Amino acid sequence: MLPEKWTTPVMEFGSLPAHAITSGELKEALDAVVAATSEAPQEAQDTTVAPTLAESPKEPQDTVAAGTGKFSLVFSQTVMSCGSCGIWFDSAKLVVEHSEGTLTSSQSGSLLIKKTRGSGSFNADLSAIPSSATIQNATLIMSLNAHEGIANSDYTSVIDVYDNSGNFVRTITARDDIRGKGYDKGNPNVPIDFTDYTRQVHGQ
Inform me whether the pLDDT recorded for 1 exceeds 60: no
Q: Is 203 left (phi over 0), alpha (psi -120 to 50) or beta?
A: left
Q: Is residue 54 situated within a structural domain? A: no
The single-letter DSSP state of residue 202 is H
Q: Is residue 122 situated within a structural domain? A: yes
Q: Is residue 101 situated within a structural domain? A: yes
CB atoms within 10 A of CB 126: 21
87: closest CA among 193, 181, 194, 190?
190
> For 125-183, what is each residue's pLDDT tens digit?
999 999 999 999 999 999 999 999 999 999 999 999 999 889 999 999 999 999 999 99
Q: Is residue 95 situated within a structural domain? A: yes
Whole domain around residue 112: which residue ranges?
70-202
> For 75-124, what is each residue's pLDDT tens digit?
999 999 988 889 999 999 999 999 999 999 999 988 889 988 888 999 99
70-79 and 120-125 as β-strands: parallel, antiparallel, unpaired? antiparallel
Q: Is residue 34 situated within a structural domain? A: no
Angle at 14 between CA 10 and CA 19, to 5 degrees: 115
pTM of the full predicted structure?
0.68
* Side chain identity at residue 11, one-letter code: M
- The DSSP secondary structure of 49-74, one letter per residue, reads PPPPPPPPPP-----TTTTT-EEEEE
Q: Is residue 86 situated within a structural domain? A: yes
Angle at 142 between CA 194 and CA 83, to 5 degrees: 110
- How many domains does the chain fold into? 1
d(CA 121, CA 111): 7
Identify the pLDDT of residue 31: 60
